[in-house]
């Protein structure tokens, strides 16, 4: 009698274990091919452009965003301080805003450049990127497109400088500063500086969205995103 009870207990335990094991197997992620994962990564990057980068194109999109606000380069910080010391603080403020407005306008014009960069990127090891850090796809995009994007984005920044009047503002600032007695004259390449800072801001905002998609299931708003990014969770979401 006791023997039968022991057998019964073990049978129930075995059945329960089998049921739990089956549930684990059912919840294990389905293997996805590299092309599907790559498409999911591209979709996440495109969503970063659509949701986050477009925020930079709004009025004061750079200036009011502490993640990407463009400050003066080190070589011009002495210019800013000198202007403030001689009572021209408002001119210094206007100069900082002008740089940010130029970046804002340029990103608005150049968004298709970033979209094309995402379309053209080839993920050589998509699964490792998917299972990597919160910004792995963004970093991969940046490493492989940064130089090409710079060459395309630089003339757009140059055009935006003239469009928003930043070139005139900074010519005035530099002339006023260089006219101060005993200062070392400056002639910075602000177009190059703002190009690099604006690109950095774009990648920063794409990474914000990638992180959200990786960590927030509700941010995966398409079937492809849910299917691909659920691999890192260990569950396929239909």
Convert the pLDDT of each residue in 1-16 to its tens digit: 544 444 444 444 444 4
Domain map (residue ranges) of the chain: 1-30, 32-232
Read off the tokens for 8.
Answer: 């019964």
pLDDT at 33: 93
Contact 41, 129 (CB under 8 A): yes
Interval 90-116 mean pLDDT? 94
Q: Measuring CA to CA, which residue among 223, 213, 227 is closest to residue 44? A: 213
| The predicted structure's pLDDT at residue 21 | 33
Q: Percentage of the chain with pLDDT > 90?
A: 67
The two most distant CA atoms of the chain are separated, in Å, by 107
pLDDT of residue 78 exceeding 90, the answer is no
- Does 48 score more than 80 pLDDT? yes
Give the span between the Cα atoms of 85 and 69, in whole angstroms. 23
Q: What confidence score (pLDDT) does residue 234 get?
A: 62
Least confident of 20-34, 73-87, 101-115, 189-203: 20-34
Distance CA 67, CA 135 (A): 15
User: What is residue 173's DSSP assignment?
Assistant: H
Chain centroid offset of residue 17 CA: 45
**Structure confidence at residue 156 as a pLDDT band (50, 70, 90):** very high
């Amino acid at each position: 009698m006791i023997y039968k009870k022991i057998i019964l207990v073990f049978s129930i335990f075995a059945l329960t274990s089998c049921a739990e094991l089956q549930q684990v197997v059912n919840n294990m992620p389905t293997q996805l091919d590299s092309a599907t994962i790559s498409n999911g990564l591209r979709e996440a990057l495109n969503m970063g452009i659509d949701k986050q980068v477009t925020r930079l194109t709004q009025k004061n999109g750079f200036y009011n965003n502490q993640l990407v606000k463009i400050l003066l380069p080190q070589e011009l910080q002495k210019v800013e301080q000198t202007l403030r010391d001689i009572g021209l603080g408002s001119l210094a403020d206007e100069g900082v805003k002008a740089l940010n407005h130029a970046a804002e306008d340029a990103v608005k014009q150049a968004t298709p450049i970033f979209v094309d960069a995402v379309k053209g990127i080839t993920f050589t090891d998509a699964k490792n990127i998917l299972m990597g850090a919160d910004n792995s796809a963004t970093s991969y995009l940046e490493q492989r497109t940064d130089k090409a994007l710079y060459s395309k984005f630089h003339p757009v920044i140059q055009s935006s400088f003239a469009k928003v009047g930043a070139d005139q503002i900074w010519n005035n600032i530099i002339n006023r500063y260089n006219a101060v007695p005993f200062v070392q004259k400056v002639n910075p390449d602000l177009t190059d500086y703002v190009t690099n800072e604006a690109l950095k801001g774009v990648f920063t905002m794409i990474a914000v969205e990638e992180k959200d998609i990786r960590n927030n299931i509700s941010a995966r708003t398409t079937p492809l995103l849910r299917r691909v990014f659920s691999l890192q969770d260990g569950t396929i979401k239909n």
